[in-house]
C-alpha cells in the first residue's frame, strides 16, 4: 500500500474538485434507476434510417425539460465490454488494458457506489436476465457490495418472450416492476438490457423499422434492434409511472459500449455519408448516449463538455448529496464547473475539449485536422525539441491509467480506510 499516498495526492490535486456543483443534492433521497443500455452508440440519436426515426423516445428525452443529455460522452471500456462499463460506473477506476477486471480481479477490495450509498440507507440491486455467472457477475457484485442480483432465475423466460441472447427487453422491464415495488426504498438499481446485442436478432413482430441496406448485415440489423430497445425503455418509463415509482426516482440511461466495430467501416461510412472512417472519426464513434432524467426538475439541457463513463460515480454521489473527500477515483462530477477537461480511453487515446489524440497523432477536436508539432528550443542544449499540444494531457492520461492499474493489480484498497462518507446539507 506504499503507493496510496502518492495516488491520493494526485487525485486530490488533479481530479477531485473542492467545489460542489449546483446540482449537489438535487436527487437527495430519491431512488436511482440506472439503465446500462446494451450497445447503443450516440450516432443513432436524432438520426433516421430509410427515412424513419431510429430512436423516437430518446429523441424526445433530448428535448425534455427534466433531462440532461450529454452528447459528447465516451465509452471507455476494454476487452471486458459490458462488465468494463459497469466497473467504470461503480468505481470511477479504469478497466484493465487486457482481460476483464470482473474476471481477473473480482475478489479485490473496492469502494464502489453500492457500498458508499448503503451508509445513507440505500438498498442496491442489479437486474439482468442472463446467467448470473456471466462475466463473473455473481462474484464481482459481492465485492462491489450489491445487496441483491436478480439474474435469469428471477424471470419467466420461454420461447415466445426470448430472442438471441435471452429474454427480450420489453418483458424484462415489465417483469422487473414487481421487484422494484417490493424493494426497500430508497434503492439504487442497475438494469442491464440484452436484446440490442450483436448480432442484433429480432423477431419479425418486434421490427418497427426496416433494416438498412449495405454490405454489413450487422449494421443493417442494428437499426431495428436499437429501435426495439428505444421502445422498451419508453414502455419502462410508462410502467414506472403506472406503478407510482416514477416521481421519487431519477433515471439514468447510458450506452455501455459500441455495437458496431471498425470491421463494418465501409457500411458505416456509407451510412454516415463519409468517404472513409478516419482514425479521428473512429474515436468519435466511441461516443455513447448519456441521459440523466430527474422528474420535476425542469432545468434539463444538452451538455457538450467532454465526459465519460468514469464520471458517473462522482456524479451520482453528488446528485444524492453525498460528499466523498476521502475517496480515490479518476472521474469528475458532470455538473461541476471544475473538471479535468479530458477523457482517457483504455488504449491511451484521449479526447479533450480541444484535442483528440489517437494512433500517435494529435487532432484539432473541432476540425478533425492533424495538428503539426511545434519546434521549441531545449533549455540545456541548442537542440530543438519537438512538442505536440497533446503531450501535456498525454502524460496525465498515462499516469492515471497506471495509477488505476496499480490499485487493481496490487488490490491496494485493502490498505485504505475510507471512513464514512459524509451526507452534507445542500447550500
Ligand atoms: C451479457 C451481456 C452482454 O450478460 O451483459 O455482455 P457483452 O457481450 O456486451 O459484454
Pocket test for ligand 1, best of 84, 130, 135 (most atoms within 8 A of CB): 135
What separation in Å is there between the alpha carbon of 422 and the centre of ligand 1?
34
Read off the pLDDT of residues 221-265 as tens digits, 9 standing for 90 and up: 999 999 999 999 999 999 999 999 999 999 999 999 999 999 999
Read off the pLDDT of residues 369-402 as tens digits, 9 standing for 90 and up: 999 766 555 555 556 666 778 999 999 999 999 9
Can you give the pLDDT at residue 426? Answer: 44
Read off the pLDDT of residues 45-98 as tens digits, 9 standing for 90 and up: 999 999 999 999 999 999 999 999 999 999 999 999 999 999 999 999 999 999
What separation in Å is there between the alpha carbon of 375 and the centre of ligand 1?
47
Q: Give the ipTM.
A: 0.98
76: nearest Cα among 297, 328, 257 = 257
Please report the DSSP string for 52-76 in residue order: EES-HHHHHHHH-TTEEEESSEE--
The arithmetic mean of pLDDT across residues 143-164, rounded, is: 97
Q: With 50 as the cut, is the pLDDT of residue 366 above it?
A: yes
Distance separating the N- and C-terminal Cα atoms of the chain = 36
179: nearest Cα among 123, 218, 139 = 123
82 is a catalytic site residue: yes
Return the higher-pLDDT residue of 174 and 324: 174
167 lines ligand 1 (CB under 6 A): no
The arithmetic mean of pLDDT across residues 284-306, rounded, is: 98
Whole-number Cα distances in Å, 308 to 138, 289, 386, 404: 26, 10, 30, 16
Lowest-pLDDT choice from 58-62, 406-410, 414-418 = 414-418
What separation in Å is there between the alpha carbon of 250 and the centre of ligand 1?
24
Q: Whose CA is nearest to atom 7 of ligand 1?
A: 82
Q: Whose CA is nearest to atom 3 of ligand 1?
A: 82
Grid coordinates in use for 306? 467532454
Kindly state the helix (H) or strand (E) to which residue 240 belongs, with its residue range.
helix 217-242
Can you give the pLDDT at residue 2? Answer: 83
Read off the pLDDT of residues 13-34 as tens digits, 9 standing for 90 and up: 999 988 899 999 999 999 999 9
Confidence of residue 220 (pLDDT cuts 50, 70, 90): very high
Grid coordinates in use for 96? 484493465
The arithmetic mean of pLDDT across residues 120-147, rounded, is: 98
Beta bridge partners of 35: 191, 253
What separation in Å is there between the alpha carbon of 223 and the centre of ligand 1?
19
Choose the catalytic residue: 82, 189, 193, 315.
82
Can you give the pLDDT at residue 323? Answer: 87
81 lines ligand 1 (CB under 6 A): yes
The arithmetic mean of pLDDT across residues 359-374, rounded, is: 89
Amino acid at each position: 500500500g506504499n503507493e496510496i499516498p502518492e495516488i491520493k495526492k494526485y487525485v486530490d490535486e488533479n481530479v477531485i474538485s473542492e467545489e460542489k456543483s449546483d446540482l449537489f443534492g438535487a436527487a437527495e433521497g430519491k431512488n436511482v434507476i440506472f439503465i446500462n443500455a446494451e450497445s447503443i452508440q450516440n450516432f443513432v440519436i436524432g438520426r433516421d434510417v430509410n427515412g424513419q426515426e431510429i430512436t423516437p423516445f430518446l429523441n424526445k428525452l433530448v428535448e425534455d425539460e427534466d433531462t440532461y443529455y450529454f452528447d459528447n460522452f465516451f465509452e471507455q471500456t476494454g476487452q471486458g465490454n459490458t462488465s468494463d462499463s459497469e466497473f467504470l460506473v461503480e468505481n470511477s477506476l479504469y478497466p484493465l488494458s487486457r482481460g476483464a477486471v470482473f474476471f481477473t480481479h473480482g475478489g479485490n477490495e473496492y469502494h464502489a457506489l453500492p457500498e458508499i450509498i448503503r451508509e445513507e440507507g440505500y438498498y442496491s440491486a442489479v437486474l439482468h436476465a442472463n446467467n448470473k455467472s456471466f462475466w463473473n457477475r455473481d462474484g464481482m457484485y459481492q465485492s462491489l457490495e450489491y445487496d441483491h442480483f436478480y439474474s435469469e432465475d428471477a424471470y419467466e423466460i420461454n420461447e415466445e418472450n426470448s430472442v438471441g441472447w435471452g429474454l427480450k427487453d420489453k418483458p424484462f422491464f415489465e417483469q422487473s416492476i414487481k421487484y422494484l415495488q417490493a424493494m426497500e426504498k430508497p434503492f439504487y438499481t442497475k438494469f442491464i438490457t440484452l436484446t440490442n446485442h450483436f448480432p442484433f436478432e429480432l423477431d419479425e413482430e418486434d421490427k418497427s423499422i426496416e433494416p438498412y441496406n449495405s454490405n454489413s448485415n450487422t449494421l443493417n440489423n442494428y437499426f431495428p434492434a436499437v429501435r426495439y430497445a428505444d421502445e422498451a425503455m419508453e414502455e419502462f418509463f410508462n410502467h414506472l409511472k403506472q406503478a407510482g415509482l416514477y416521481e421519487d426516482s431519477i433515471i439514468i440511461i447510458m450506452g455501455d459500449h459500441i455495437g458496431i466495430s471498425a470491421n463494418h467501416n465501409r457500411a458505416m461510412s456509407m451510412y454516415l455519408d463519409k468517404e472513409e472512417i478516419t482514425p479521428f472519426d473512429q474515436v468519435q464513434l466511441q461516443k455513447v448516449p448519456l441521459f440523466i432524467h430527474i422528474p420535476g426538475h425542469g432545468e434539463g439541457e444538452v451538455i457538450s463538455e467532454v465526459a465519460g463513463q468514469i464520471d458517473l460515480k462522482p456524479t451520482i454521489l453528488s446528485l444524492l448529496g453525498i460528499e466523498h473527500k476521502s475517496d480515490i477515483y479518476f472521474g469528475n462530477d458532470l455538473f461541476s464547473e471544475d473538471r479535468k477537461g479530458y477523457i482517457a480511453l483504455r488504449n491511451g487515446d484521449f479526447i479533450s475539449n480541444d484535442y483528440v489524440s489517437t494512433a500517435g497523432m494529435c487532432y484539432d477536436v473541432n476540425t478533425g485536422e492533424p495538428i503539426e508539432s511545434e519546434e521549441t528550443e531545449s533549455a540545456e542544449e541548442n537542440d530543438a525539441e519537438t512538442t505536440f499540444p497533446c503531450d501535456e494531457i498525454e502524460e496525465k492520461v498515462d499516469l492515471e491509467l497506471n495509477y488505476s492499474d496499480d490499485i487493481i493489480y496490487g488490490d491496494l484498497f485493502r490498505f485504505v480506510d475510507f471512513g464514512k462518507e459524509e451526507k452534507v446539507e445542500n447550500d
